[in-house]
Amino acid sequence: MSPPTRLCIIALSLLLLAACGSPNGPGDATDELVIAWPASREPASLDGHIEPYQTAWLIDYMIADPLLIIGPDGGFHPALATGWSSNDVADEWTFTLRRDVVFQDGTPFNAEAVRYNVERILDPATRSGEMAAHVGPVERVEIVDDTTVTLYYEAPWVTVLDAFRRVPIWSPAAAERWGIEAFDRHLVGAGPFLLEEWVPNDRVSVRRWNGYGGWNSISREPGPAKVERVTIRFIGEEAVLGNIVRTGNAHIAMNLPTAYIGDYRGADGFSLLTGYQAGTGLQMVMNVRRPPFNDIRVRQALLYGTDQQALNDLLYDGYYLTADGPLNTVHRCYREGNADYYPHDPETAVRLLELAGYTDRDGDGIREAYGVAGVEDGAPLRVRWTILDREEMGEAVQAQWRPLGVDLVIEIVPGPVQLERVNARDFDLIYERQRSPDPLLMDMLWNSAHDVVGGWAWTGFVDAELDGIVSQLRAIPDQEQRCELAKEAQRVIMDNALMLPTLSEPIFYAVSDEVRGFELASEGQFYFVHNAEVLRE
Amino acid sequence: MTIRGRTFSFAFVAGITILVAWVLVALLAPGAAPHDPLATVSGAREAPSAEFWFGTDRLGRDVFSRVIHAARVSLVLGFISVAIGAALGSALGLVSGYYRGAIDTVLMRVVDAMLAFPGILLALVVIAALGPSITNVMIAVGVSTIPRYARLVRSTVLTVREEAYIDAARLIGVPDFRIMLRHVLPNTAVPLLVLSTLEFGHAISVGAGLSFLGLGAQPPTPEWGLMTAAGRDVLGRAWWISTFPGLAIFTVVMATNLLGDSLQEMLDPRLKARRE
């Protein structure tokens, strides 16, 4: 064999070997934990002070510890704060901070840093999508000493702990250095990992910070995290996400599609984790400002005409939870009677639509309006279904409503377009989901005072009774009383048929047995990797 | 194959047979489909069986019935797109080639600019401007094929306009419009027919591609591209949802290509002579 031929064979063999291994896969990089997310969960900004979606906060959890966390047991536990207290009326909140913490850039964590973060969130220039609403109307932040800080509120604010368990505490020096626009590429906190890179539409990588002191109470040991690197990969295709752990290209798949659950449940080498998340469920809120949803009979008809259990069985093999009201069934303030409000009853739905003035005179199967105020006679009963994803759910509802004579038009839009539609109040039925174990979200979503641009009350429904009920949720600390208020609010919402409950989505995780120490929080969308490690084979 | 003394290639017979079969399927769809294509008739993702020949999709709809009904949408899309492209493209090519000079220069630069974009990109631009719908896909695909028709017709017209009978017509005072319509355009019929046959399959394939991307037909319309897209997330466990509509696209496009190529061979004297 001539030397060039031999050289070619060696080169080809090396290329072949290189092709067999995946450099980013877990097979040859056991110090790296690879987690696959659906691409739709990629946030627009990694800065949780700005970004309204929880997945940004989940990434922030790796880079910046908050003051406190909700642990797997559902209780509040210390992180950068060692303790907290409030006065009786809950308009003064004091946090005691750890002494031994520095940020990843070497600057100290102290009361001044907390004040900076609170003021940054509330500064209109930050354009906080949601966190400012959670932190609430802080009048001033007082630094008592280096490790004690007190927040004074304009009004009682009982959900401070639930708010601050989400707030990443950033290094003021780094945040100032990079400014609002660029900081999300250079995040600096006091968490177990350093932000390495964010490649939009592809991945986010974080690298172990060896200066981490394990000061989050979730950490089992003091000191740095065990795994060298965590990479979150954004996967666009469900089929790829469903198989990615089985094929060894990721250790964990978050939001595993239900069609793939059978591949992991009870399978050797894998485990399947299920996280439930208290909140609203996958609800579609109705725009009651204009026809057809300004007529309660139409709203009620569509609730009667929807069979949530059939949706669940057909689309998700029954793995989801059916929803029947503004709060999902795993929420502690869920109202039991919601299920009895609008049982699946197509006949009643048809009768209500007829009463509302919608009838099918041209025989095309779709009803037209006759004598409906604000609608031209003969206009078809067409309803837009505006949602970020889950086209299949829209299609299934479309199939359920077609026999009723309702033409459902599905409009899949990205998040920013959804917010544009909301701000212009240009929607019929629009997807709005919030996740929180606290009933305060009822105030956020249903108090007409928040029916403003940037607010989260979208329906246009104004009702003194409902506003009065939900606004008390900001002031009453007693959990039982709060739940009673939330249940009362649910009753009013269901009486007025303001939203269409569909399903509630558990979060399924496929986890390779190579992973140890991966822990779900009490809310399904949150997890901790502080103790995670990948075992070498 | 010889029919009434004329010899037809296997490709021609196969192409026309498949295409006619699909046209018949489309025409007879309401009677031929065993189920309502929009109705949930069974459980989701049921495998092909005696009752559901092509299985059911993720909403429990009969894939066979949907494939049959989708033929109507796709064939109409092909016809209309070709009609738009052929009508506008031929008009451009005819005017450009007949008058030449400044008109030719301007029109051909416009055509060159359109040719600079890949057809699918041009179609995407049109869809972006008009919004996603099957009607707009027809317009988009039709517009994207205009340059090809324009180029083809122009090149034929450039030859035809030099013929003696065109000069004669001009000399006796026949108006330009009439000359173009009565004497020039008929000479472009053969290449136009061949191109249109090929473009028909191409239009169906591009239309299905746009629907696959969510830019064409909207749910619950049965459309092959949309149906193929709907099954891709579960391809490993419910292959039939994407496979059968995919096969439908494949057979129609293959048939039009076979037909187009064999028509070209039959009608182009140079190719015919070379073959003989």
- Using a CB-CB distance cutoff of 8 angstroms, which residues of chain A are in contact with residue B220? 395, 398-399
Q: Which of B176, B195, B205 is nearest to B90 (CA)?
A: B195
Instruction: Examine residue B225 and state whether it is found in any structural domain, yes or no.
Output: yes
Q: A263 to chain B: nearest residue by CA? A: B237
Other C-beta atoms closer than 10 Å to the C-beta of A389 total 15
Question: Which range has the worst mean pLDDT, A123-132, A306-315, B10-19, B191-200?
Answer: A123-132
Confidence of residue B78 (pLDDT cuts 50, 70, 90): very high
pLDDT digits (tens, 9 = 90+) for B118-167: 878 888 888 888 888 899 999 999 999 999 999 999 999 999 988 999 99
Tokens matching residue B258? 């076979």
- Using a CB-CB distance cutoff of 8 angstroms, which residues of chain B are in contact with residue A319? none
How many Å apart are CA B211 and CA B205, to the nearest integer?
A: 10
Q: What angle do CA A268, A274, A277 make, to 5 degrees?
A: 170
Tokens matching residue A282? 């996958």
How many domains does chain B contain in total?
A: 1
Q: B219 to chain A: nearest residue by CA? A: A395
CA B236 to chain A, closest CA, distance in angstroms equals 8
How many Å apart are CA A97 and CA A150, to the nearest integer?
A: 11
Per-residue pLDDT, averaged over A110-138, amounts to 92
Res A95 pLDDT > 60 = yes
Instruction: Find the radius of gyration of the CA atoms of chain B.
Output: 22
- Using a CB-CB distance cutoff of 8 angstroms, which residues of chain B are in contact with residue A243? 236
Instruction: Examine residue B1 and state whether it is found in any structural domain, yes or no.
Output: no
CA A466 to chain B, closest CA, distance in angstroms equals 37
Tokens matching residue A334? 């869920």
Local structure of residue B47 (DSSP, 8 states): P
How many Å apart are CA A28 and CA A177, to the nearest integer?
A: 37
- Calculate the average pLDDT of chain A: 90
Please enumerate in sequence order all residues whose Cβ is within 8 A of that of A125, keeping only pairs 6 or more positions apart, or say none. A180
Return the CATH number at B83. 1.10.3720.10
Please enumerate in sequence order all residues whose Cβ is within 8 A of that of A417, keeping only pairs 6 or more positions apart, or say none. none
Single-letter amino acid code for the residue at A162 = D
Other C-beta atoms closer than 10 Å to the C-beta of A320 total 21
Provide the pLDDT for residue A16.
43
CA A51 to chain B, closest CA, distance in angstroms equals 27
- Calculate the average pLDDT of chain B: 90
Res A28 pLDDT > 60 = no
Res B61 pLDDT > 80 = yes
Which residue range forms the structural domain that includes residue B210?
71-258
CB-CB under 8 Å, A239 with B59: no
Note whether B249 and B204 are within 8 A (CB).
Answer: yes
CB-CB under 8 Å, B232 with A412: no
CA A220 to chain B, closest CA, distance in angstroms equals 39
Candidate from A259, A394, A412 with C-beta closest to B234: A259
Pairing of strands A252-254, A32-38: parallel
Note whether A201 and A235 are within 8 A (CB).
Answer: no
Q: A396 to chain B: nearest residue by CA? A: B59
pLDDT digits (tens, 9 = 90+) for A343-360: 999 999 999 999 999 999
User: How many percent of chain A have pLDDT more than 70?
Assistant: 94
Strand order in the sheet with A138-145: A81-86, A92-97, A148-153, A138-145
Could you tell me the residue ranges of all domains in chain A?
22-42+200-277+506-537, 283-504
pLDDT digits (tens, 9 = 90+) for A250-287: 999 999 999 899 999 999 999 999 998 889 999 999 99
**If you write DSSP's letter for every residue of A262-311 in order, what string do you get?**
HHHTT-TTEEEEEE---B--SEEEE-TTSTTTTSHHHHHHHHHT--HHHH
Instruction: Examine residue B44 and state whether it is found in any structural domain, yes or no.
Output: no
Which pTM was predicted?
0.78
CATH superfamily label, A283-504: Dipeptide-binding Protein; Domain 3 (3.10.105.10)
- Using a CB-CB distance cutoff of 8 angstroms, which residues of chain B are in contact with residue A417? none
Res A510 pLDDT > 90 = yes
How many Å apart are CA A435 and CA A438, to the nearest integer?
A: 9
Q: Which CATH number fits domain A22-42+200-277+506-537: 3.40.50.2000, 3.40.190.10, 3.20.20.140, 3.40.50.720?
A: 3.40.190.10
Res A24 pLDDT > 50 = no
**Within chain A, how many helices (H) and strands (E) appear?**
16, 26
